[in-house]
Amino acid sequence: MITTGKKSQRGISFFGLLFLGVILALLAIVGARVVPTVTEYMAIQKTVKRVAADGGDTVLHIRRTFDLAAAADYIDSIKGTDLDVTKQGDKVVISFAYDKEIPLAGPAYLVIKYRGSSDGVSR
């Protein structure tokens, strides 16, 4: 009779699997809270580019146009008064900046700083 040595077990233990599951669940929860803010940022960026391309006579007109478009796209993070409207040559450039706080647990928050402009350069 031939005896063989012990074969080493390979794989993850129950506690390792439990720990991995908790980490993945926490990442999924944070991701589920971050994705809507990123979607809103992309909607703001699209709206700012559209309003800048349409142009306007005055800063007030541009801000009003943004407010109307923002209401249609359910944008709540910024208003027309938060926009920085400048002219570079004959082109209107609209830039914006805002912070989004995402509550995690208790006093812990995730803060994301969103910046953008109609010319694609973050300021």
Structure confidence by residue, pLDDT tens digits, 12-40: 889 999 999 999 999 999 999 999 999 99
Confidence of residue 91 (pLDDT cuts 50, 70, 90): confident
pTM here is: 0.80
Confidence of residue 2 (pLDDT cuts 50, 70, 90): low
User: How far apart, in whole angstroms, are the C-alpha atoms of residue 4 and residue 2?
Assistant: 7
Domain ranges of the chain: 20-117
User: Does residue 123 have a pLDDT over 60?
Assistant: no
